Amino acid sequence: MTTRIDLHTLRGQPVIVGAGVAGLLTALHLGDRPCVLVSCAEPLGIGALPCGVAAALGTEETATARAARTLQNSAGLACLETVQCITSAMGGVIDTLGRLGITVAAGTHDSGYALHAALLAAVHARPTVTIIAPAALRRLILVDGQVAGIVIDAAGRTITLDTDAVILATGGACGLYNDALVPASAIGRGLAVAARAGAELSDLEFVHFHPFALSLGNTPGAGVAIPFSLYGPDALLLDEQGEKLEGQTSNPAFVARAVAERKAAGHAVFLDLRKIVTSGPPKPGSVLASFLSLCHARGIDPATQALPVKPAAAFHIGGIRTDVSGRTSLPGLWACGEAACTGFHGASLCEGNALLETVVCSQFVATDVLGRITPPFRDISGIREDQSLPRGLLAVVRKALSTSMGPARTQDILTSALVPIARFAEYDDVALIAEMMLISALKRQESRGDHFRSDFPTAGATARHITLTAAEVHIAARLIARDHPVAWSIDGAPLASMLNS
């Protein structure tokens, strides 16, 4: 962490919140322009791709093919202009990273861990980037509807930074699930801060669940994913009784629901890759080779045992509504990476697109920030910051979302989770994001992409986005609570006892 922070010298600099791939790349794309990077200092590479970075960035397919695949997967909700803009930039992505000193080549350091490490080293070598870590975002300061500053908590010290440009690269809200493949800190704090400031959020009900997370315990953020591409004709998905799970093996959302349903019925589920693993040595640098290396490092041998699996939240498709340049509905606020909802993904996640969107849009965001018209300086030193309780209901919310907002949802279970959480949403950040996700899921009375309603199992006639503000969600929650006055517990447990547990 930067131990001595001269707030005067940082005045007016763009502030990037988040030190994942999106935040680090945005800082690098700002070039020689001084900026501030606020980081929660997660361990290196958490949540990153175990392999396949080069393929994700388009080295193995054309822009036309990626665009077609994306639109087909989007269930009618992808923005055509956004898809074309991002995929057409694919051809120059590897060269752009090279100019930043980042080398990406298939089979050679082709992992998200290596990419993250290289980006982190490059940012640390930039004297123009001031890194504040570990630090947590608390709120945005607005003057006349324009971002004028940001409040952060750095090692217990509250710091207010004057800035007219804040870029949120804080990730999504998958960390609100018990089973997740993201950092445990990815609890939607950036989304909550944006929502409290009045920004619009969109499509929060869409969460991508990876169907094959290894069952290695219940520590949030500690999941290991089996690449979905390994699930083919030579792989078997079965329960402890040897009964196979049949269905659409090419559709991750369908498979995730099938695994979740079998586990909810009390069964264990296993993915048997022994035929694939024992067929011969894997090609160096391949997906299989990278996965086997990861397993062996953890004492797991897929050649001799079927692997216990479960669905895990892997990517939050919805987020802060932005255009392709990261501009939000709030002047002075940009979002990038998983925190942003650009319209690229639509209703489901296409393999490789999460990283592609992040890498391409980080440059778009930086360019837009550099080209902004700077408003007159506003002195915000006298504005008193609000205090929030960002982790107050975390345990309650994790249990509620894991139960109600999994691969399959119904109105009754969504409502039962919403009503008690909504009581605390006006001051607790994780409760606010959970409330917004639940309301979005209730409003989408259809099944589309990665959102499946058991009570509405088919897609509606018209594809539509669901865009909400915090104020709108609070009103909706109050109306629902009025009609469900007895739903003040989760899974039969009184809320007060859960808060004290």
Q: Tell me: the pLDDT tens digits for 193-216?
A: 999 999 999 999 999 999 999 876
Q: What separation in angstroms does the CA of 213 have from each of 133, 242, 475? A: 30, 19, 37
Could you tell me which CATH number the domain at 210-313 has? 3.90.700.10
pLDDT band at 393 (very low <50, low <70, confident <90, very high): confident
- Confirm if 86 and 324 have CB atoms less than 8 A apart: yes
Residue 213 pairs with which residues in a beta bridge?
225, 310
- In the predicted structure, residue 3 carries a pLDDT above the cut 80: no
- Average pLDDT for 15-22: 95
Percent of the chain, pLDDT > 90?
64
Q: Answer positive or negative: Cα dihedral of 351, 354, 360, 364.
A: positive
Tokens encoding 48: 């990153």
pLDDT of 40 reads 84
* Candidates 3.30.300.30, 3.40.50.2000, 3.50.50.60, 1.10.10.60; CATH matching 7-206+317-370: 3.50.50.60
Alpha-carbon distance of 224 to 362, in angstroms, equals 27
Sheet of strand 201-202, all strands in order from the earlier edge strand to the far edge: 340-341, 319-321, 201-202, 467-468
pLDDT of 387 reads 37
Percent of the chain, pLDDT > 70?
87
**Cα dihedral value 234, 276, 300, 118, nearest 10:** -110
Q: What separation in angstroms does the CA of 30 have from each of 39, 78, 167, 327, 371? A: 17, 28, 12, 16, 11
Domain ranges in the chain are 7-206+317-370, 210-313, 394-500
Tokens encoding 262: 């079998």
Tokens encoding 234: 């030579």
pLDDT of 220 reads 47
- In the predicted structure, residue 391 carries a pLDDT above the cut 50: no
pLDDT band at 491 (very low <50, low <70, confident <90, very high): very low
pTM of the model: 0.90
CA angle 358, 359, 365 (to 5 degrees): 75
Return the closest-CA partner of residue 138 out of 196, 87, 92: 196
Residue with tokens 């040595």: 281
Question: 247-259, pLDDT tens digit by residue?
Answer: 667 889 999 999 9
Least confident of 129-133, 217-221, 394-398: 217-221
- Average pLDDT for 277-292: 83
pLDDT band at 110 (very low <50, low <70, confident <90, very high): low
pLDDT of 128 reads 95
pLDDT of 395 reads 87
- Confirm if 91 and 61 have CB atoms less than 8 A apart: no
What mean pLDDT value characterizes the chain? 87
Could you tell me which CATH number the domain at 394-500 has? 1.20.58.100
pLDDT of 380 reads 66
pLDDT of 273 reads 95
Is-same-fold flag (7-206+317-370; 210-313)?
Answer: no
pLDDT band at 45 (very low <50, low <70, confident <90, very high): low
Q: Is 282 left (phi over 0), alpha (psi -120 to 50) or beta?
A: beta
